Chains A and B, each alone.
Chain A
Amino acid sequence: KAGVTQTPRYLIKTRGQQVTLSCSPISGHRSVSWYQQTPGQGLQFLFEYFSETQRNKGNFPGRFSGRQFSNSRSEMNVSTLELGDSALYLCASSLRGEQFFGPGTRLTVL
Chain B
Amino acid sequence: GQQLNQSPQSMFIQEGEDVSMNCTSSSIFNTWLWYKQEPGEGPVLLIALYKAGELTSNGRLTAQFGITRKDSFLNISASIPSDVGIYFCAGQPGQNFVFGPGTRLSVLP
Is chain B found bound to chain A in the same assembly?
no
Chain B residues with CB under 8 Å of chain A are none
